Amino acid sequence: MTGPSSLLERRARLLGPNVSTFYDEPVHIVKGEGVWLWDADGRKYLDCYNNVPHVGHCNPRVVEAISRQAATLNTHTRYLHEGILEYVERLTGTFDDPLSTAILTCTGSEANDVALRMAEAVTGRRGIIASDFTYHGNTSLVSQLSRSNVPGVGNSDWVRFVPAPDSYRPLGGEAGMAHARAFADAVGEQIEALKKTEHGFAGLILCPFFVNEGFPALPEGWLKPAIDVVRREGGIFIADEVQPGFGRIGSHMWGHQRQAIVPDVVTLGKPMANGHPVGGVVTSPDIMSAFRNSFRYFNTFGGNPVSCAAAMAVLEELEDKDLVSNARAVGDYAQARLRDLAQKYDFIGDTRGSGLIFGAEMVLNPATKEPAIDFTDRVVNEMRRRGIILSKLGRHKNTLKIRPPMPFGTEHADLLFETLDDVLASTPLHHG
């Protein structure tokens, strides 16, 4: 038996309880191609959610690169191999100076783990500041950076939090640069607090587009006051590019470039090799030397020849198909369609995003901005029933999270928005 209920029962028995699935009716996907998915009954879904298959599900160039290298050699980085050098050269070529060296890992969590140790190696201190509504990974060390996924015994004393930016409900009530200065002040306060502890202040880690926080609309230069405070206090800035990186935001290859900031360390993951498990840390030669001289880091699978071939194929595909420009063009089109929907429906309190990460925030009342949490959940589930895969996110889980693979075109956006319009028109705001 392979029906959904029997699979759910086997999952619970074999994988343990509380292993999450998406949707009231979980989807059993058996095949993918480009921006499309098929379930076990042969039903086709438009994938408006998955960022890991960055250049499209089962992208032929990536599949071919993986199988060619797997049929030739797969070892690890203790043997000499050009694959990793060619990849790191090409990858770091997309970053600004002095970000020219990299460590390859297997996950974003490992990349952030390494980044925290780099902060320690460079500053000799341990204290880290993060946003209070983020996720940076699942290792024992980096799970400390999440308050939404608090470890059983609570967060450690070396981690301090600042309020995640929210452009719809900005800190202190003012948007734009006033909000930016309030954020920088909050970072400054936490630095002072850390300096009073044995940990001291080592660095600030943020997603430069605050994707998990709900991708607030922040003007260019918004992050600069906070980063200035960090540098003045001798800390480093770690940009977690796991979500916005590799051109997703359309305007730039990296989220920090949109903010005109050069981070000290950048961490990468999810889309990096289209589903083959690859993560990475990019930094300057100085920070890399400090780290390499402090720790003897080796990662058995990180940077293996097959992973490098898969990751290289992603960069080639992005460039050959001009997928970053596509993300920008389709993203602009999507923003216009979102604004049209917001004109039509009062319960859309805010629309935002950039490139192929976009969404709308649902409220029960636009004056009070009370989040329409259940409504958003019902919309997401109804979209799934109509064959459109998307989700929700943010502090109140009332923002639609639309983040499709990069080959997503305007024809796909049309199907998405026509269906969404229909679902918004037929889903009651208040549940009866």
Where along the sequence are the contacts to ligand PMP (CB under 6 A)?
Answer: 107-109, 112, 135-138, 207, 212, 240, 242-243, 269-270, 279
Tokens coding 296:
């003897």
Nearest distance from C-beta of residue 258 to ligand PMP, angstroms? 16
Nearest distance from C-beta of residue 114 to ligand PMP, angstroms? 12
Of 269, 254, 256, the C-alpha closest to 104 is 269
Q: What is the DSSP string of 154-206?
A: ---TTEEEEPPP-SSS-GGG--HHHHHHHHHHHHHHHHHHHHTSTT-EEEEEE
Query: Of all helices (H) and strands (E), which one includes residue 128?
Result: strand 127-131
Q: Closest residue (Cβ) to ligand PMP?
A: 108
Burial label, 44 (beta-carbon count in 10 A; 0-12, 13-18, 19+):
exposed
**C-alpha span between 170 and 304 (Å, rounded):** 44
φ, ψ at 356 (rounded to 5°): -100, 40
φ, ψ at 387 (rounded to 5°): 90, 20
Our CB check for ligand PMP shows the closer of 51 and 419 to be 51
Our CB check for ligand PMP shows the closer of 242 and 253 to be 242
Nearest distance from C-beta of residue 393 to ligand PMP, angstroms? 10
Nearest distance from C-beta of residue 147 to ligand PMP, angstroms? 14
Nearest distance from C-beta of residue 126 to ligand PMP, angstroms? 20
**C-alpha span between 96 and 250 (Å, rounded):** 17
Nearest distance from C-beta of residue 342 to ligand PMP, angstroms? 27
Our CB check for ligand PMP shows the closer of 51 and 77 to be 51
Our CB check for ligand PMP shows the closer of 277 and 371 to be 277
Nearest distance from C-beta of residue 244 to ligand PMP, angstroms? 9
**C-alpha span between 375 and 213 (Å, rounded):** 19
**C-alpha span between 182 and 177 (Å, rounded):** 8
Our CB check for ligand PMP shows the closer of 380 and 420 to be 380
Number of CB atoms found within 10 A of residue 14's CB: 8
Our CB check for ligand PMP shows the closer of 248 and 337 to be 248
Our CB check for ligand PMP shows the closer of 133 and 183 to be 133
